[in-house]
């Protein structure tokens, strides 16, 4: 870059649930929930990330919490811009220095994004101070993070289960050959658990409690070798508002999530149907790679392997794999410029 360069390079994974920022060496600078707390009157940001998450569901009439991204794309332009600006400000504050650096950013986006949605992300990043803004599709970023040679004449399938979308893509020769993007992912699992607790146990639970249940006993199979203990959920009875303590088992959650997971099964099979035979043969040989927070659901790789008949591999650190791949693209921006939007 040169001795007197003041360009800061950042890789961003703006997720529906979590946002991650890395520098061009792959160091994580920010890893917090994608949520902001705003003043209702002025629409100015009061809190960001983990601090805003603590306020979620507990706000007064003067404060609202907003998740700026829905299904992996920007749903609230103003809140998204303030969130991106706030994250960059925190990153720069931690970095130190007298001058605000010029900003080069690579942002990963869902592969099913429309031109309007891509433009919205670009505009938000530019308004937040980005001078050079590049986009890379999430499955391609995940492949780079895993360490696959995306430029090779070899077929690899990536299934990235995020907060808002599940991205399924076959990659070969530096491009996406087959692509499916469905709006069934981590947020849907959380909603299913909320509905289940109300329907089955007459208990009202919020998003945070449902998320805790998913983390503690989330599973997609009813038999596990390393089974978690039942998780005790505290909450009010829907009818009487009296306090309840309900033990929840991983088997219950497996039944509860069946409908959503079956949609992911079907989407993977649909993507395989559209895959050219020569690439299909490569995928059978290489296996299919699972990334994203949804890949952490207990028993998922086993269920998919049994259902589809192709070996599924859970990537190391699946939560950060897309972000790490975005950082690889940033570091080698000349080499991977053909992947950028």
Tell me, what CATH number does 216's domain have? Answer: 3.90.640.10
| pLDDT at position 10 over 90 | yes
Shared domain check, 286 and 162 = yes
A 10 A CB-CB count for 25 gives: 9
Domain assignment present for 2 = no
Q: Do 220 and 98 share a structural domain?
A: no
pLDDT in tens, 38-76: 999 999 999 999 999 999 888 888 999 999 998 878 889
Which pTM was predicted?
0.90
> Is the pLDDT at 97 greater than 70, yes or no?
no
**Does residue 12 surpass a pLDDT of 70?**
yes
Taking residues 146-155, report their average pLDDT: 93
Count CB neighbours of 153 within 10 A.
11
* Inter-residue contact 185 to 294 (CB < 8 Å): yes
Residue 30: band (very low, low, confident or very high) from pLDDT cuts 50, 70, 90: very high
205 and 289: one domain? no
Number of domains in the chain: 3
Tell me the C-alpha distance between 334 and 182, whole Å. 31
Asked if 51 and 98 sit in the same domain, the reply is yes
Looking at the structure, tell me whether residues 46 and 137 fall in a common domain.
yes
Shared domain for 314 and 171, answered yes or no, is: yes
Residue 146 lies in a domain: no
- Report the pLDDT value the prediction gives residue 95, as an integer from 0 to 100: 61
Same domain (yes/no): 192, 64: no
pLDDT at 96: 56
On whether both 32 and 103 belong to a single domain, the answer is: yes
Which pLDDT value is given to residue 2?
Answer: 43
Collapsing DSSP states into helix, strand and coil, what is residue 222? Answer: coil
- Local confidence band at 221 (pLDDT 50, 70, 90 cut-offs): very high
DSSP E strand stretches across 24-141 = 28-33, 36-39, 45-48, 63-66, 69-70, 73-74, 102-109, 130-137
For residue 306, the enclosing domain spans 151-184+260-319
- Whether residues 66 and 179 share a domain: the answer is no
């Amino acid at each position: 870059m040169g001795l007197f360069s003041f360009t800061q390079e950042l890789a961003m994974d703006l997720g529906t649930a979590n946002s991650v920022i890395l520098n061009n060496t792959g160091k994580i600078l920010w890893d917090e929930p994608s949520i902001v707390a705003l003043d209702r009157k002025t629409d100015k940001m009061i809190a960001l990330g983990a601090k805003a998450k603590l306020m979620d569901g507990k706000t007064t009439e003067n404060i609202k919490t907003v998740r700026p991204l829905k299904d992996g794309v920007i749903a609230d332009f103003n809140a998204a811009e303030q969130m991106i600006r706030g994250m960059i400000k925190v990153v720069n504050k931690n970095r130190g220095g007298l001058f605000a650096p010029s900003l080069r950013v690579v942002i990963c986006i869902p592969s099913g994004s429309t031109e309007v949605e891509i433009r919205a992300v670009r505009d938000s990043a530019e308004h937040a101070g980005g001078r050079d803004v590049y986009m890379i599709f999430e499955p391609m970023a995940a492949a780079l993070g895993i360490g696959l040679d995306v430029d090779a004449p070899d077929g690899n399938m990536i299934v990235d289960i995020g907060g808002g979308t599940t991205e399924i893509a076959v990659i070969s020769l530096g491009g996406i050959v087959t692509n499916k993007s469905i709006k069934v992912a981590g947020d849907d699992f959380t909603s299913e658990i909320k509905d289940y607790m109300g329907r089955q146990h007459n208990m009202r639970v919020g998003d945070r409690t449902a998320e805790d249940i998913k983390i503690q006993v989330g599973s997609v199979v009813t038999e596990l070798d390393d089974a978690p203990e039942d998780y005790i959920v505290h909450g009010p009875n829907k009818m009487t508002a009296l306090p309840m303590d309900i033990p929840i088992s991983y088997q219950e959650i497996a039944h509860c999530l069946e409908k959503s997971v079956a949609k992911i099964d079907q989407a993977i099979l649909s993507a395989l149907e559209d895959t050219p035979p020569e690439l299909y043969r490569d995928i059978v040989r290489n296996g299919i790679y699972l990334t994203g927070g949804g890949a952490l659901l207990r028993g998922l790789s086993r269920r998919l392997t049994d259902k589809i008949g192709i070996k599924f591999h859970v990537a190391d650190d699946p939560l950060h794999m897309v972000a790490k791949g975005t950082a690889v693209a940033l570091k080698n921006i000349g080499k991977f410029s053909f992947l950028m939007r």
